[in-house]
Amino acid sequence: MTTRLAALADWVDSVATLTKPDQIHWCDGSDAENQRLTEEMLASGVLSELDQATYPNCYLHLSDPSDVARVEHLTFVCTPERDDAGPNNHWMAPADAHAKIDALFDGAMRGRTLYVIPYCMGPIDSPYARLGVEITDSPYVVANMRIMTRMGQPALERIEREGSFVKGLHSTGDLDPEKRFIMHFPDELTIKSIGSGYGGNALLGKKCHALRIASYQAREEGWLAEHMLIVGIENPQGETSYVACAFPSACGKTNLAMLIPPESHPGWKIWTLGDDIAWLHLDDNGQLRAINPESGYFGVVPGTNAKTNKNAYDMIQSDTIFTNVATTADNQPWWEDKKEGEPATDWHGKPYVAANGPAAHPNSRFTVSATKNPSYSSLAEAPDGVPLSAIVFGGRRKELAPLVYEARDWRHGVLVGAGVASETTAAATGAVGVVRRDPMAMKPFCGYNFADYWAHWLSFADRSTKLPRVFHVNWFRQDENGKFLWPGFGDNLRVLRWIIDRCEQRVEANETPIGYLPKPEDIDTSGLNIREGALDALLSVNAEQWREEMTAVGEYLNSYGDRLPAALKEEHAKVTGALAKSA
């Protein structure tokens, strides 16, 4: 297998000349190819087999201890002008970046196989999908990309028809942290990554392509590439509404994507279309539609059990690649809070000793096909995507943000998204309550200047009168004793129901300086065990706290200087003015 597309063939040849592999393999994505690669990885020790009776077709990969997470400080956006990358990105001049990383690629694949991975992000026949080719020397990357993307012959055929694709070059190099870089060249639709075999650093279709490069493509082409889950909420009458949600880490994103309705809501269903990334396009009628560019999940596994996320727990019982988990004496995967079994061997592959820290790495992962999810929606393969009723932003705030509120309109919604923030937890940083701004949950992933990104979001108000309504949620309000006021998990469906009721104009709302809040009687609390007064607290707006918040938001926005859109300043001034007049 090779290609008749000259541009692709020439690029592969040039990379081979630079990296000097022993052989070149064009990936076709077939079962036979995957089986052969799996056998080779088992033989070489890249993978080890887990207990096939209890975890059929499941394998374990252990990373180098220095290579276990994204490396944002080594991730660069390389644009001709520094301001085009913006203060939200690390920047390097393209010529300097190419020279620096190409020197590391020189001879990097000696003794290895160069794999050519043609892939499609999104349904293979969707006009909203985009194409890429990753070159890598890691068979582990090939196996993961086969799960995470539509990889192989059909993707190559579409690439050859269209002639356009994102170029991704990856090598594990020698795994030296001092020689580890992830470079993005948006103008060239090119990614170069070396020195890491881990996740988002190496699976270039994921954050590198589907967010950093795609967000740039999206601005050029008039759509949005977002760090959002996509769910369908079906009521007992069989009507389904679709919602896209953007949450920073540790804010319940995966749990919401796979929410299981509580027993108090018979007949309700949640359908998962995506857990991480959404591409949003306006159709010919001005309706914003969403596709999930990915076809699998690359999820954090610690904390996953039958209670916290039953769907995720169930789907990783077979056909899963585990990365950096521990194992039990009988060779089953194990991680903290699994609620069954005991670790015998830690994620280093050594006998487990409690004093040495967690048995599974806190960022250990599972890679599994989306079709394994019990709540998987077949519409994840719909070429035209699904119509969005609402866009929801969320953060972790123990005070301040109500349980849910609605933006006045799209432009106000952009301000709400731009101001998204979360308070750190001790587990994450060692410092509790530090407010971190993470606009649209895209801080590590926007491939260009945030000020230009907000301007692009604002432009949609001039392009359609049918845009989704915009909301903000906060599952994490606490009382004076530090107890959560809202139960969360499956009961978050009650909030989603109000959001849909607003979209369908079935309920009124209370207007406040920050937006529209629910009337308490419109949040269904039947069968819910929350203390008296909790709902009133959850739906309250403290004007003094919000004045301080909007001052902080204004300072953050102004840090983007002259590129900050005037319309965003105006929206900020509206909210600030309304708060100044309130008690």
d(CA 155, CA 131): 7
Q: Is residue 63 part of a domain?
A: no
Residues 386, 243 within the same domain: yes
Question: Residues 211, 243: contact at Cβ < 8 Å?
Answer: no
pTM of the model: 0.97
Output the pLDDT for position 429.
Answer: 40
Q: What is the distance of C-alpha 117 from the center of its chain?
A: 22
Distances (CA, A) of 556 to 175, 423, 459, 560: 36, 16, 21, 8
Amino acid (1-letter code) at residue 574: K
Q: Is 555 helix (H, G, I), strand (E, B) or coil?
A: helix
Output the pLDDT for position 432.
Answer: 65
Question: Residues 517, 472: contact at Cβ < 8 Å?
Answer: no
d(CA 505, CA 166): 42
170 marked ligand binding residue: no
Residues 362, 506 within the same domain: no
Among 221, 239, 268, which residue terminates a domain? 221
Residues 231, 169 within the same domain: no
Q: Is residue 575 part of a domain?
A: yes
Residue 255's nearest CA partner among 538, 499, 528, 492 is 492
Q: Which residues belong to the active site?
A: 251
201 marked ligand binding residue: no
Residues 400, 537 within the same domain: yes
Output the pLDDT for position 428.
Answer: 42
Residues 478, 566 within the same domain: yes
The distance between the two most distant Cα atoms of the chain, rounded to a whole number of Å, is 73
Residues 419, 337 within the same domain: no
Residues 547, 445 within the same domain: yes
Q: Is residue 61 part of a domain?
A: no
255 marked ligand binding residue: yes
User: What is the domain extent for residue 332?
Assistant: 297-372
Residues 331, 474 within the same domain: no
Residues 144, 268 within the same domain: no
Q: Is residue 1 part of a domain?
A: no
Question: Residues 391, 242: contact at Cβ < 8 Å?
Answer: no
Overall domain count for the chain: 3
Q: Is residue 161 part of a domain?
A: yes
Which residues on neighbouring strands pair with residue 270, listed in sequence order? 233
Among 221, 245, 276, which residue terminates a domain? 221
252 marked ligand binding residue: yes
Long-range CB contacts (within 8 A, 24+) of 11-18: 11/133, 11/167, 12/114, 12/116, 12/135, 15/105, 15/114, 15/135, 15/169, 16/114, 18/102, 18/105, 18/106
Identify the CATH number of the domain in which residue 387 sits.
3.90.228.20
Q: Is residue 64 part of a domain?
A: no
Residues 440, 499 within the same domain: yes
Tokens of 57: 């077709």
The residues, any chain, with a CB within 8 Å of residue 277's CB and separated by 6 or more, are 206, 210, 211, 225, 226, 227, 228, 292, 293, 294
70 marked ligand binding residue: yes
398 marked ligand binding residue: no
365 marked ligand binding residue: yes
Concatenated DSSP letters of 115-170:
EEEEEEES-TT-TT-EEEEEEES-HHHHHHHHHHSEESHHHHHHHHHH---EEEEE
Residues 186, 328 within the same domain: no
Angle at the Cα of 227 (from 223 to 228), degrees rounded to 5?
A: 90
Q: Is residue 79 part of a domain?
A: yes
Among 221, 239, 269, which residue terminates a domain? 221
Q: Is 541 helix (H, G, I), strand (E, B) or coil?
A: coil
What is the pLDDT tens value at each position of the chain, 583 positions in all? 689 999 999 999 999 999 999 999 999 999 999 999 999 999 999 999 999 999 999 999 999 999 998 888 999 999 999 999 999 999 999 999 999 999 999 999 999 999 999 999 999 999 999 999 999 999 999 999 999 999 999 999 999 999 999 999 999 999 999 999 999 999 999 999 999 999 999 999 999 999 999 999 999 999 999 999 999 999 999 999 999 999 988 788 988 999 999 999 999 999 999 999 999 999 999 999 999 999 999 999 999 999 989 999 999 999 999 999 999 999 999 999 999 999 999 999 999 999 999 999 999 999 999 999 999 999 999 999 999 999 999 999 999 999 999 999 999 999 999 999 998 764 444 566 789 999 999 999 999 999 999 999 999 999 999 999 999 999 999 999 999 999 999 999 999 999 999 999 999 999 999 999 999 999 999 999 898 899 999 999 999 999 999 999 999 999 999 999 999 999 999 999 999 998 6
